[in-house]
Amino acid sequence: MDNIVTIEQLAKTPEKHGRLLSFCWSSFTTGWLFGTDAVCEMSLERTRQSPMLHVERKPSGGQRSRKVYTADESLLERLGELTERENMAAWSALRFSGRLAPEDQSYMEIITMIFDDSDIGGRGFTQRRIDVREVRGQGRGEVIDEILDLLRSAQEEDRLVSSVTDPFSGAAMFGMTGAGMPMMGFIAMGLMNSFNPNVHMPQQQGWTCQRCGHGDNSLNFCPECGQRRCAETDVTDKSGDDE
């Protein structure tokens, strides 16, 4: 236990970064029983117009919902100030030292941050990933609660841009609920559509990173190098026929 890295030790070596581009908090609970999986994710991203807050939730046994809100520029600034104040970028060196629960559920809580370090002489984008379980285990849960309060403050109805609920993520089917339904539902839909010539399944689309060449990206940042998707980057269309 003596070789565990502590937040107090990391505080002695501040890690400097440029402005905060993206901040994502996620929690996942997985169980053995159908419908016991639970997901909650709040992701704030800087865009050309204004920051956008993406919120995805799936309660245990419930339906998955996705909402998008506009956010003030000050929200990212306040999160940036908080991460700098706590030297949170250095917390990526923390490793979960607690014991996994012996029950039928596992839990994970993650924070992912992306910084633009080009203004301070560094490479374009830097990503830091923090295992929040260790942060809470070291008695710094109040910092996480402060972050969650900031992210929740932007979830106002007058800022709501879009709202979608997945009808296949919690309803009952063939005597099963929750996680069992989507699997059986999508298999059945795939079988039916495979015999229906009038139904065309959508093709996957994505973009290719201009920095590292990683393809089929679906997010605004490349998962390999953190490069932001350029506005002029064309979406790869795989549905067109070759002339």
Q: What is the pLDDT of residue 103?
A: 55
Q: CA 25, CA 40: separation in Å to the nearest integer?
A: 8
Q: What is the pLDDT of residue 84?
A: 94
230 against 16, higher pLDDT = 16
Dump pLDDT digits (tens) for 79-101. Answer: 999 999 999 999 999 999 886 65
Is the pLDDT score of 235 beyond 80?
no
Q: What is the pLDDT of residue 104?
A: 52
Q: How many CB atoms lie within 10 A of CB 55?
A: 20
Is the pLDDT score of 116 beyond 60?
yes
Dump pLDDT digits (tens) for 62-79. Answer: 888 999 999 998 999 999
Lowest-confidence pick of 37-46, 125-134, 218-227: 218-227
Residue 186: CA count within 13 A, CB half-sphere: 9
Q: What is the pLDDT of residue 229?
A: 72
Q: What is the pLDDT of residue 213?
A: 77
**Residue % of the chain over a pLDDT of 90:** 47
For 56, residues 6+ apart whose C-beta sits below 8 A from its C-beta are 39, 40, 41, 64, 65, 66, 67
Q: What is the pLDDT of residue 177?
A: 36
CA angle 90, 93, 97 (to 5 degrees): 130
**Residue % of the chain over a pLDDT of 70:** 67
Tokens at 97, concatenated: 């030292």
Q: How many CB atoms lie within 10 A of CB 97?
A: 15
| Pick from 146, 33, 143, 36: nearest CA to 91 | 143
Q: What is the pLDDT of residue 175?
A: 35
Give me the residue spans of the domains in the chain: 7-166
pLDDT bin (cut points 50, 70, 90) of residue 7 is very high
Tell me how far the alpha carbon of residue 230 is from its chain's centroid. Answer: 20
Indicate the angle between helix axes 73-86 and 141-153, nearest 10 degrees. Answer: 170
Tell me how far the alpha carbon of residue 83 is from its chain's centroid. Answer: 17
| CATH number 1.20.59 given to 7-166 | no
